Amino acid sequence: MKDNRRDFIKKGASLATALSLGAVGASASAVKPETTKTLPAKKVAWPVVEGPDTPKMTMNISPTDVSSKLKAIKQFGCDYVHMSGPRLPWTVENIQPIVDKFKAAELTIINMMVGFSGSIIHGTEGRDAEIKLVQDALVVAGKVGIPVVEYNFYAHRLTEGYYSVPGRGGSSYLGFDYNRVNPTTGIAPKDLPPTEKEPAMTRDQLWANITYFLKAVIPVAEKAGVVMALHPNDPPPPISRGSEQIMGSFADWKKMLAIVDSPSNGMTFDCGVSTELGEDAVEVLKYMAARKRINHVHYRNVLLDTPRMKYVEVFIDNGQVNMFAIMQELVKHNYKYGIFAEHPRGNAIDKERGGDFISYLYNQAYARAMLQACLTLEQGYKG
């Protein structure tokens, strides 16, 4: 592109504004005047809060985080948390104390991520023993009351394609460009070779391995009363250090969900990734939600340049994803698991104090306001 990065962001912001205005206009035109006259809104009791069949705001935390962070999460209106679980094996004896710790702070663990070695992904020696550990972890999650177990299936994650982009007011956005030559290494992400730890994998190999895995673990998850959530490839380029990507397109997501036809075989719906693919995130959501296959949500925004190849992650309020429409569909479909307003942007306050908690709180507050607005509309305009 001839535009420099600042011009790209400005153009993107204008695009996002136009899209938002267009979406508002479309929504307004869909409301028939006679409907608003004959069906007055019901009075909705406030505050509007999450229920058993509504989305639930959740924030990421470590099992070892100190009590002050737990208190802050609760104080800012979040009742649910999610986290990466300990290394396998999981047992009731090592997971129950974690659940109890957060319960004491009035927080419920809604999702715990399980990590496993490359033997499952690469189909190498030790795969069956590792799968048995995952099966045992699902049983433990069911026993201690953790409803969602999330996981990744990367042959390699091309984080080498990320770089910092100046954002509004001197903030920091995150760009991804598959073809950008790294000024330090002189190599573009698309040209990076495989690593010894993560050898190149073909699509056929990866599809065979994830099929083997899902057919082994999903029946156990069903019996345990647990659902699984696979996070799609993020970033989603076609090749990542020599490995093809099997969760880098919407067609791939549909194929994965069809391997084992069960609500326990679900995904983390990410409206940012959906947009990075060049898809309409709202339509992707509708497809998956109608089939009860969304078991976790990542709620973030992006400006797309080239599908799968080039985009910029921006603040939650100034990308091209219609965040209101996303939340409306989640409410409409009675989605009942967690929504994580993720990917905080670099800002002056976090830079001064360290960490990224202020940006996470901004995302959380924005998403909670969207949720309350959509729950209000859903309750107030039902016939």
In angstroms, rounded to a whole number, what is the distance separating the alpha carbons of residues 375 and 4?
A: 41
42, 48, 76 from 101: Cα distances, Å: 40, 27, 19
pLDDT value, residue 379: 86
Instruction: For residue range 73-96, list pLDDT tens digits in order.
Output: 999 999 999 999 999 999 999 999
Burial pattern 124-147, b for ≥16 Cβ within 10 A else e, equals eeebeebbebbbebbbbbbebebb
Cβ atoms of 359 and 346 closer than 8 Å? yes
Cβ atoms of 322 and 282 closer than 8 Å? yes
Mean pLDDT for 21-40 is 41
Q: What single DSSP character describes residue 306?
A: E
Instruction: For residue range 170-224, list pLDDT tens digits in order.
Output: 999 999 999 999 999 999 999 999 998 899 999 999 999 999 999 999 999 999 9
pLDDT value, residue 40: 55
Mean pLDDT for 244-268 is 97
- Give the confidence band of 380 by pLDDT, cuts at 50, 70, 90: confident
- Give the confidence band of 13 by pLDDT, cuts at 50, 70, 90: very low
pLDDT value, residue 41: 57
**Percent of the chain whose pLDDT exceeds 70:** 88
Least confident range from 17-31, 94-108, 279-293: namely 17-31
The answer to whether residue 381 scores a pLDDT higher than 70 is: no
Mean pLDDT for 257-279 is 98
With DSSP H G I counted as helix, E B as strand and the rest as coil, what are the percentages for the chain, rounded to 5?
45, 15, 40
Mean pLDDT for 265-288 is 98
The answer to whether residue 163 scores a pLDDT higher than 90 is: yes
Dig out the tokens for 220 from the structure: 């156990």
Least confident range from 2-16, 54-68, 208-222, 255-269: namely 2-16
- Give the confidence band of 44 by pLDDT, cuts at 50, 70, 90: confident
Q: Where are the alpha helices (DSSP H) in the chain?
A: 5-30, 33-38, 67-75, 92-104, 118-122, 127-144, 203-224, 250-259, 271-276, 281-290, 323-332, 348-353, 357-380
| Pick from 289, 279, 282: nearest CA to 250 | 279
Mean pLDDT for 327-342 is 98
Cβ atoms of 111 and 338 closer than 8 Å? yes
pLDDT value, residue 165: 98
Instruction: For residue range 316-327, list pLDDT tens digits in order.
Output: 999 999 999 999
In angstroms, rounded to a whole number, what is the distance separating the alpha carbons of residues 279 and 275?
A: 5
Task: Look at the block and give the residue holding tokens 């927080």.
Answer: 107
| Pick from 36, 94, 48, 113: nearest CA to 369 | 48
| Pick from 327, 323, 279: nearest CA to 301 | 323
**Residue that wins the pLDDT comparison between 139 and 8:** 139
Mean pLDDT for 241-245 is 96
pLDDT value, residue 326: 98
CB atoms near residue 43 (< 10 Å): 8
In angstroms, rounded to a whole number, what is the distance separating the alpha carbons of residues 359 and 381?
A: 33
pLDDT value, residue 239: 97
Q: Pairing state of beta strands 108-113 and 148-151? A: parallel
Instruction: Give the distance between the most distant pair of CA atoms in the chain.
Output: 68
The answer to whether residue 237 scores a pLDDT higher than 90 is: yes
pLDDT value, residue 161: 98
Q: What single DSSP character describes residue 346?
A: B
The answer to whether residue 290 scores a pLDDT higher than 60 is: yes
Which distant-in-sequence residues (6+ apart) come within 8 Å of 274 by Cβ? 250, 280, 281, 284, 285
pTM: predicted TM-score of the whole model, two decimal places: 0.89
Instruction: For residue range 123-161, list pLDDT tens digits in order.
Output: 999 999 999 999 999 999 999 999 999 999 999 999 999
pLDDT value, residue 33: 42
The answer to whether residue 39 scores a pLDDT higher than 60 is: no
| Pick from 278, 280, 277: nearest CA to 247 | 277
Q: What are the structural domains, with CATH classification, of the chain?
A: 5-26+44-380 (3.20.20.150)
